[in-house]
Amino acid sequence: MKQLALITGASSGIGKALAYEAAAQQIDLILVARNGSKLIEAKIELERRFGISVDVIVKDLSNPEAAKDLYQEITSKGLQVNMLVNNAGVGLYGEFVDTPLETELSMIDLNVSSLVVLTKLFAIDMKKRGEGRIMNVASLLSYLPFPYYSVYSATKAFVLAFTETVGAELEGTGVIVTSICPGPVDTNFTTAEMLGTNAYKTNKPVEASFVAKVAIRHLLHGKGNKVIGFNNWFISNLPRVTPDSIMVKIKKSLASQVKQKE
């Protein structure tokens, strides 16, 4: 029986790259995002190029009710999801006291609430069947919460902790729950302000296709969490060997804008 993967946030960036990498492995797909026209373009190209079957569903997962609707729509079609990739997410850079509250609450709903909804609903089905894989997209900031990314960092720390604990609960059931932690990636996620920080100057963004290649291999064969790239792995381990007082200063410096020479 052919495998079927559900990928959220699949119209651009890492999600689109994940779709292409999974299609290259002859995995049928359900692609979900808000942008229907981009999803249709991806469907046509993926089916033509790889000879797989692609369903597209337009949903705005910043509303957790949409995540429940998505599950119902998929099950009502009789589709059996073997692999779930919770990739949809947004970020925000700026001082917490200045950033829009509604934007941050919407971010929490997308990055956390809808991810929890989809993980729970599909994990229940997978556990009953005794097989399935779920991969959640976390971040380097899951390990290294940065100033000026306060809410985003917190959501990704949640994703990492949530994945680890649910994975432990489901161990031995045939359901494997994993996560990936990319660092900077060259996508539309990255704003001009983010690009102007010391972090992006010292840790250059990588191509989404590179992240996707590592991620799909981890989805199919890996366990636990995977930090993508040696630099990011090294950075993620800095808090283990660096005093907190020094680590806070390092993170604030990295998250700050590059000072222009006069």
Q: Which residues are catalytic?
A: 152
Is residue 108 within 8 Å of residue 99, measured between CB atoms? no
Place of tokens 């997410």: 89
CA–CA separation, 31 vs 43, rounded Å? 8
- Nearest alpha-carbon partner for 158 in 199, 195, 209, 110: 110
Token reading at 162: 């949530």
CB neighbours of 133 closer than 8 A, spacing ≥ 6?
A: 82, 83, 84, 175, 176, 177, 178, 219, 220
**3-state DSSP assignment of residue 19:** helix
Q: Is the CB of residue 2 less than 8 Å from the CB of residue 30?
A: no
